[in-house]
Amino acid sequence: MEPVSSKLYERESEEDRPREDAVRPGPPYQLAAQNTAQLLGVQRSEPQLQTAGVAFHYGLGMSWGPVYLLVRRAMNLHPLWAGLLTGGAMSLLVDEGLTPALGLSAPNRAYPLVTHLRGFVAQLAFGLGVAATAELIIWLGRGAVSRR
């Protein structure tokens, strides 16, 4: 996801990039770590908050593995379509919904349209990565079972 997002960001216009950067309060996962520590009344050093932010980021990403499997099995979809649906759902629910609602980003209207499109495409890439990972684990698991 990150390489796709970075490449698309590099291609943004000279007008959109500064507008996006000006309204972004920081990485959402970092803000989530800071807000959680504050909510719990816990003091954490900057390195601890950085580590917690990374844990939030990867934890959120890993939590979508079961979502992919549910979508894939319940809807009997091909892995490609289930991956795209999973990534699209994450983009809409998390990036466009929860993140601004929780104050982890600026309001959606503050960002240029290209920011939302880049995020959506990057989340589609994420969904395909989730699909590939899940299908590989399933495939490897089948091989282990058949070797017994």
Question: Between residues 13 and 108, which one has the greater pLDDT?
Answer: 108
Please give the full DSSP string across 67-120, using - where no structure is assigned: HHHHHHHHTT--HHHHHHHHHHHHIIIIIIIIHHHTTSS--GGGS-HHHHHHHH
Q: What is the pLDDT of residues 46-78, one digit of tens each?
A: 999 999 999 999 999 999 999 999 999 999 999
pLDDT tier at 148 (50, 70, 90 boundaries)?
low
For the question of whether the overall pTM of this predicted structure is more than 0.85, the answer is yes
Contact criterion met (CB below 8 Å) for 8 and 118: yes
Average pLDDT, the chain: 93
For residues 89-115, give the mean pLDDT: 96
Euclidean distance between CA atoms 41 and 50, whole angstroms: 17
All structural domains of the chain with their residue ranges: 26-146
